[in-house]
Structure 1
Amino acid sequence: MRPLAGAGLAALLAVSLASCASSDRDTAATTSSGGAASEASSAPSSSSGATGSESGGATGGSDDQLIFGAAGAPSMFDPLYATDGETFRVARQLNEGLVTFTPGTADVAPSLASSWESSEDGLTWTFDLQDGVTFHDGTPLDGAAVCFNLDRMYSQTGAGATQAQYWSDTMGGFKDSGTPSVYASCAAPDADTAVITLTRYTSKFPAILGLPSFSIQSPTAIEQYDGNNVVAEGDSFVYPAYALEHPTGTGPFTFGGYDQANNTVTLLRNDNYWGEKAKVGTLIFKIIPEETARKQELQAGTIDGYDLPNPADWDGLTAEGFNVAVRPAFNVLYVGINQKNPDLQDLKVRQAIAYAMNRQQFVDSQLPTGAEVAQEFYPNTVDGWTDQVTQYGYDPEKAKALLAEAGKSDLTVNFWWPTEVSRPYMPNPRDVFTAFKADLEAVGITVNETSQPWNGGYLDGVDAQQADLFLLGWTGDYNTPDNFIGTFFSDPTSRFGTEYASWGTTLSDALGAADTIPDEAERTTAYENLNKQLMGEYLPAVPISHSPPAIVVAGNVQGLVPSPLTDEKFVGVSKS
């Protein structure tokens, strides 16, 4: 997904999309005000913008008002068309899906569906809906509303289909796209039931229904405010009034407005919420692009918390009385290897690169307590992880020998790293690059450096296969192997250039086949074998580390549960 711009129908203002590439969807936090400032200043306008008393003069002092420092502006407010973490952070408070994840875990739990069951072949899923749920506009939640949403997602065309990336990544094609889809149909036999039929079994169902992009939104509001009318204008998109001004879900907060002058998104407690009511009356996301500025505002008491504090600040913030909540490390950092470069098509060369990098030293010197070297491309809490993979300990002499055997002792690589960004798995990209550049040069590899802004050339260049080596990673959306290695390596023409390898299509086909295996034990074995092949026979990238990111709140804030998925909900958060 490349960074794009958009404009609102109401104000025709540009929207800078903080979109993440398809293997990097998590909260983007910029380290330079340049890129993120443009996100803040060009975010969607709202005719129902928050008043000065709600946002402009907001401080962290009111017990009934919580202000959270956001790293960037949301792209808009309809999660169907979003891929960026700041949009999802807002969407999670406004909307709900049929399922959710148990707080603090990646385990699927009931949400708008109180229970569900599947047919033996995993193709038919029957969801029993919660009683007494209404959307923010008073429309009742029923089976027909659920099917309206699923069919809406499936029926996207043109610019809407382009932007509904989570659907295409998980479900496949759209109704009229000609590309096969996992989704077949939805039926509502009665008001309390929705039955979803799939074309094939997939291991990621029903977990994907807990993602913000699969939120169940008000059919009334979507139709009233022309919710499907996304229009492409060159490299930009025009979003409808629904996405910019009238998002309408079932969640514990309602949309209060976006105030561009004060860079705040305001949400209000939904007093008609079907579950436990929010503990604060007003939730404000204040857009503060620089991490240092967010820390200073927390220290000054003008905000109540922010995401991704620098690990170097954890001890200091804790000593000052702030609550630094460390999430489980449900992520991976890797150095991608693009085999468009013929020199990198030799497995011995890729193995030499792996042996050359002192990953343990990097983890010990740059990452927080609890981080560890990655043996493969996802954490050991995900099915299919196995310790029976090829290990690449730090061995510069072996790296030199492999390069010599391959006739590449004079190897030169173009190594890219991103600026204006910090990721949960990569707090400081410059330092990551510097460490591994030195390791590669120590075994005789010449490194040509390229640095580009994350949303200003880096992702575009990596997607266009301009980089030989590059830094990227992933925070899991849900707990399946397919969400990690299926996302990374299923496309043989991806940024890894595996179309140049004889095994590129074979790997893609094997990943797709593993996801369709209904038997859990058989599926786990298939993924174990794939992990062995990825690390031993293929090595399209070098997994580096799993790192626990943190979220910090003021000492008087209670109830925020850190999530390995970084999908924290604010409904249970209070202040004393």
Structure 2
Amino acid sequence: MKYILSKKLGVLLIVAILIFIVGCTNDGGANPSASVPEVDSKSDTKNDSGSDAKKGGTLIIGMTAAGLPALDTHSTQGQEGYRFVGFQVYDGLTRFDLTQGEREPDVVPALAKSWEAPKDGGVTWTFHLRDDVDFHDGTHFNADAVIFNLERVLNQEFEYYSPQSSAGVSSNAQFIESYEKIDEYTITITTKEPWSIAHVNLAWVFMGSPDAIKKYGNEEYLEHPAGTGPFKFESKIDGQELVLVPNEDYYGEVPKLDKLILKPMPEPSTRVAALLAKEINWAEAPAPDSVARLKSDGYEIITGVYPHIWRAYLNEVSEPIKDVRVRQALNYAIDRESMVNDLIGGLGTPSTQYVYEGHPWFNEDAIDYSYDPDKAKQLLAEAGYPDGFDTRIIIPASGSGHMWPIPMTQFIQQNFADIGVNLKIDVVEWPTFQQLSRADFVDDRDALGYAHGTPTVTMRNFRSTFHSQDSGNRGKYINPKVDELIDQAFASYDDDERNGLIKEASKIVTDEAAILFVVHDLNSRALATNVKGFVQPQSWFIDLNSVTVE
């Protein structure tokens, strides 16, 4: 049977909730137009020692999230939910290779052992599935399971359709026009238009056990999740901790840990205190002023470059933000070097473009927004605002990829005051921030925009931020040339050509100050000395399978 989405549903999907998101900047590394080599169904990455294997200890992580991520096939709590729950409990047809840190991760086979991308402007992808995978509830994975999960998020008429899961994956599934089971272990996915990074997007479209979803229903399934990932659900205490244990039947490398415990700790100082008190042995994004103390006490501070930007959307339909000179002035006003060195202790790098210097999309010919308050004042005067103006910004108190949003925004507030711009800061909790940022700007409350961290910069993120027809373009930035370049990149199956097109678009959006560029995160975390085997990837996401706690 072939499943085709209605035009109405397609529209709904496009305007569905945006997950800010997204995994590796070269969108998969390997040329998707080539057939991906098959993975042996009896791959030697399988752990041969079984359940009698090593005792790897208990890893307890203090997350920046304000709550526990949902256990459905879509993750909540932003991309941190995907980092610690989604990619641990579930698999997509593809995944990111997070086992090395020398380069940005490639997209590699997961539940699909190989695939063929369309050729000559085609739109149909073929995926060949593994035949040796079971869900955590013991039921078997096959093509029917894939179709069930796609129906659950794409077909509103489906008995087990989940609006929450649909919204959660909309930005990664909006390109799908139809899907079809060819045989027990083969499916095809047809895109609405040429979409060269479909294999990247599908890493976020997770597969849950159809039997478990049917048995418990969509709501109760959250208490009985059954994916195929390296970890499986054991228990939770609402709002306090989530306990995962290794999936001893995992088709890949079975985790060495005995348990993985996740604790929501949105306050940086709380995470550091818990680490020092040995209540946790891994703290995400430790408070910058605690790093020296942690190092002196023997804790390992891990950092590394990866695709990320902490920036603010700018409301470009409002006065005075719609004037490019005002947007440029705001970018010149930020003393990024001082923010990085003095405020956040070197745990980030200055951002004057969407990507960091050295990235394939970084354009050396674009405007360099070095700190220049005099130039900022000059531009404001030319735009008709010699005395500055009043505006507001909304930020989350904490959350996925946001680093330390309150002190960082207060730093910007002082920079803006120096050029006459009075910035009012509205701080809200992460769930409220998500709801507000999905809506259009309202009155003067959102005159400036939303400060937001994007920890997984991909072509999809670039499109959602700058393409005028993308529902994720919160600032309503419009440039037909940028739209054209992005469309051409999405239609190309050649890595170099795609990167060149996005690099050209990057110069335009930088010169026009389409957003407020601030900093790139360095993915900091503090680990106790007895945490061993972790490899820091060039990604927001992580592989915990090799980690042990002595």
TM-score, structure 1 length as denominator?
0.76
Q: Which of 88, 91, 98 is residue 93 of structure 1 equivalent to?
A: 88
Is 1:73 aligned to 2:67, yes or no?
Answer: yes
Q: CA deviation at 1:331?
A: 0.7
Percent of aligned positions that are identical: 26
Please give the per-residue CA displacement for 1:325-352, whole angstroms capped at 9, x wherever unaligned. 2232321122332123322222222222
Q: Which of 164, 167, 174 is residue 165 of structure 1 equivalent to?
A: 167
Q: Report the residue type matching 1:389 in the other structure.
A: A
The match for 2:109 is: 110
Q: Distance in 1 between matches of 2:229 and 2:488?
A: 36
- The answer as to whether partners of 2:19 and 2:169 remain within 8 angstroms in 1 is no
Q: CA deviation at 1:250?
A: 1.2
CA gap 1:483/1:413 in 2 versus in 1, 3 angstroms = farther
CA gap 1:301/1:520 in 2 versus in 1, 3 angstroms = closer
The match for 1:151 is: 151
Q: Distance in 2 between matches of 1:495 and 1:118?
A: 26
Please give the per-residue CA displacement for 1:356-411, whole angstroms capped at 9, x wherever unaligned. 22222222222343632223112346543321112222222222222222222123
Q: CA deviation at 1:75?
A: 4.3
Is 1:553 aligned to 2:527, yes or no?
Answer: yes
The secondary structure found in structure 2 opposite 1:225 is: helix
Q: Distance in 2 between matches of 1:456 and 1:273?
A: 33
Residue correspondence of structure 1 range 489-508 to structure 2 within 5 A: 489-491=466-468, 499=476, 503=478, 507-508=482-483
Q: Distance in 1 between matches of 2:165 and 2:136?
A: 25
Q: Report the residue type matching 1:314 in the other structure.
A: V
CA gap 1:95/1:495 in 2 versus in 1, 3 angstroms = closer
Q: Which of 221, 235, 238 is residue 212 of structure 2 equivalent to?
A: 221
Is 1:187 aligned to 2:151, yes or no?
Answer: no
The secondary structure found in structure 2 opposite 1:80 is: coil
Q: CA deviation at 1:288?
A: 3.6
The match for 2:30 is: none
The match for 1:249 is: 227
Please give the per-residue CA displacement for 1:396-448, whole angstroms capped at 9, x wherever unaligned. 22222222222221231313253522664532x333233322322323x2404
Q: Distance in 2 between matches of 1:168 and 1:423?
A: 18
The match for 1:234 is: none
Please give the per-residue CA displacement for 1:150-207, whole angstroms capped at 9, x wherever unaligned. 23322146993465234321332xxxxxxxx433213232x33333332322132201
The match for 2:336 is: 359
Q: Distance in 2 between matches of 1:146 and 1:270?
A: 20
The match for 1:30 is: none
Q: Distance in 2 between matches of 1:350 and 1:124?
A: 41
Q: Distance in 1 between matches of 2:214 and 2:168?
A: 22
Q: Tell me how large the CA RMSD over aligned residues is.
A: 3.1
TM-score, structure 2 length as denominator?
0.80
Q: Which of 502, 511, 522 is residue 486 of structure 2 equivalent to?
A: 511
Q: CA deviation at 1:66?
A: 2.6
The match for 2:236 is: 258
The secondary structure found in structure 2 opposite 1:267 is: strand
The secondary structure found in structure 2 opposite 1:449 is: strand
Q: CA deviation at 1:548?
A: 0.2
Is 1:469 aligned to 2:448, yes or no?
Answer: yes
Q: CA deviation at 1:247?
A: 0.7
Structure 1 gap segments, 5+ residues each: 1-19, 27-61, 173-180, 228-239
Q: Distance in 2 between matches of 1:69 and 1:544?
A: 26
The secondary structure found in structure 1 opposite 2:534 is: coil
CA gap 1:341/1:106 in 2 versus in 1, 3 angstroms = same
CA gap 1:185/1:417 in 2 versus in 1, 3 angstroms = closer
The secondary structure found in structure 2 opposite 1:87 is: helix
Please give the per-residue CA displacement for 1:127-152, whole angstroms capped at 9, x wherever unaligned. 33334211112212222322322233
Q: CA deviation at 1:125?
A: 2.5
The match for 1:15 is: none
Q: Distance in 2 between matches of 1:550 and 1:420?
A: 18
Is 1:309 aligned to 2:286, yes or no?
Answer: yes
Is 1:442 aligned to 2:418, yes or no?
Answer: yes
Q: CA deviation at 1:492?
A: 6.0
Structure 2 gap segments, 5+ residues each: 1-16, 24-54
